[in-house]
Structure 1
Amino acid sequence: MISGMKFALAVAALALSGHAAVAQSEKSGVEKLYVLNCGEGTAGDISRWTPGLNEGKAMDFVDSCYLIKHSSKGWFLWDTGIADAVAAMPNGLVPADPKAVTWRRPKTLAAQLEQLGLKPDDVKAMAVSHTHPDHTGNVELFPQATLYVQKAEYDWPGANNEPRFKPSHPVELLAGDKDVFGDGSLTILSTPGHTPGHQSLLVKLPKTGAVVLSGDAVHFKDNWDNRRVPSMNANKDQSAASMQKIADTLTKEKAQLWINHDKAQRDSQKMAPEFYD
């Protein structure tokens, strides 16, 4: 009788440990995604993004950053937006070319982190979609965070052949896709074309499902729907191939595409301190 009871207790204990393991596995991975306001602007002439169309047409743009909480690995930041210093410029960051985007910074990245109870030091890992200044403006706010960047982007000469990042910044150079935390919850996708080492991000959230953060593989929905390649892109064929790769990923993962600069889409999203889970 006692041995039978022991056996029953052992079976019960195994079942409980199994439930605990399942619960633990369900908890691992990405928990939250915050959409941060990392700039708002107006393009003087969007024909550079839509070759042959929209000559002289102005358009509002937005610039988003995304803060991601992983259950065991902590905080990961995707893109850093326009430099926080632009917040102090009354007329925004006015470009030399009136056709380009005049950027404003209604909220600093630092202030939005503070609102969430975070300091820059809390961010242990980060990545930028590419090295244009509306995506890298605050990289050095996080000098301790490991930066994931494609080697092709890192090696791409900047203005006057300057390096694109401080040599002292900890970096992991990539040569293609990267499962950041090894659990499939956060995957950097190599999507070159806009720049030589452009990348996008696949995020798998427990309730929202899969989301692909576009970077500048596409700038707004109309360009995505019509597969238009901006005239300033580094490589037209790579740009088209990367859009197809994203489309295939959306199908495979049943994912949503969040387009970084698309104001209509961003206006429909929950902004920090609200989040997606």
Structure 2
Amino acid sequence: MRHLACAVAAMILAALPAASHAQSGGVERLYILNCGEGKAGDISRWSPGVNEGQSMDFVDNCYLIKHAQGWMLWDTGIADAVASMPNGLPPSDPKAVTWHRPKTLIGQLEQVGVKPSDIKVLAVSHTHPDHIGNVELLPDAMLYVQRAEYDWPGADGRPRFKKDHPVTLLDGDRDVFSDGSVIILATPGHTPGHQSLLVKLPKTGEIVLSGDAVHFRSNWDSRRVPAMNASKEQTLASMEKIAGVLTKDKAQLWINHDKAQRDGLKLAPEFYD
């Protein structure tokens, strides 16, 4: 009996460090970074047949995630160079968004004590310029992107990323840190390899970062699909996938470009934990 008691005690002691580590693991903080502000010339571009001729203010968010295993950045926003353009970055389509960059990505990282080299994991919702403008400011961060997006030809057939940027190509969902706290969700439709992100915070709870699976709340509520999307059918299926995650995980939906929602959230250096 004495030997059995000693063996049980040894097993309990051996398990304690692992339990302590599990409690201290996962996501610790989530920062919302201002990665662009602008005005759309005509929001019927995103909601065909609705809101014809109406303009709308847009925002562009990036999200800095502090995980027990290191720093992760979700989306990189409008290129920092736009911050030096007094009139912003005008679009080729007058219906689209004229973007401004009130704060640089690098400046906001510095504000919370993070250097670009500290970020080990980088993921982008998709490859439109307002989401990948600063990818190459993080040349050593491992880039997580869907294979369908990576292989999708860019302008004039050019690749969408530098070939020497370290990359992990995905063919569906991915548990980034293998602990269930940060999960990339494949949500194609807006682009061939669009993806969203589920983040599980200890106090705030679970949040789905939409990317451009949807652009503003009324489009989500009415399941509207922008005319420029790669696939209407995939977009609608991805919206239903997100809706299922929201229900299953009792998660919030943070819509990336929705200014009305973003105005009610805390921006860096404040954070969610």
Q: CA-to-partner distance for each residue in 1:166-208, whole Å, 9 max, x for gaps? A: 0010000000000111111110000000000000000011111
Question: Where does residue 65 of structure 1 map in the other structure?
Answer: 62
Aligned residue among 14, 20, 23 for 2:20: 23
Q: Give the CA deviation at 1:26.
A: 1.4
Percent identity of paired positions between Structure 1 and Structure 2: 73
Question: Where does residue 229 of structure 2 map in the other structure?
Answer: 233
Q: CA-to-partner distance for each residue in 1:27-69, whole Å, 9 max, x for gaps? A: 1111110000000000000001111111100000000000001
Question: Where does residue 201 of structure 1 map in the other structure?
Answer: 197
Q: Give the CA deviation at 1:12.
A: 7.5
Q: Give the CA deviation at 1:15.
A: 5.9
SS in structure 1 at match of 2:64: strand
Mapping of residues 162-201 of structure 1, within 5 Å: 162-201=158-197
Distance (whole Å) between structure 2 residues aligned to residue 229 and residue 87 of structure 1 = 31
SS in structure 2 at match of 1:37: strand
Structure 2-normalised TM-score?
A: 0.95
Amino acid at match of 2:55: A
Question: Where does residue 55 of structure 1 map in the other structure?
Answer: 52
Question: Where does residue 111 of structure 1 map in the other structure?
Answer: 107
Unaligned runs of 5+ in 1: none
Amino acid at match of 1:89: M
Question: Where does residue 121 of structure 2 map in the other structure?
Answer: 125
Q: 183-192 vs 22-31, which deviates more? A: 22-31
SS in structure 2 at match of 1:50: coil
For the aligned residues, what is the CA RMSD? Answer: 1.7
Aligned residue among 3, 18, 33 for 1:36: 33
Q: 91-100 vs 163-172, which deviates more? A: 91-100
Q: CA-to-partner distance for each residue in 1:213-268, whole Å, 9 max, x for gaps? A: 00000001110011100001000000000000000001111100000000011111
Amino acid at match of 2:137: L
Distance (whole Å) between structure 2 residues aligned to residue 203 and residue 83 of structure 1 = 25
Equivalent residues, number: 273
SS in structure 2 at match of 1:92: coil
Distance (whole Å) between structure 1 residues aligned to residue 115 and residue 18 of structure 2 = 32
Unaligned runs of 5+ in 2: none
Distance (whole Å) between structure 2 residues aligned to residue 20 and residue 137 of structure 1 = 42
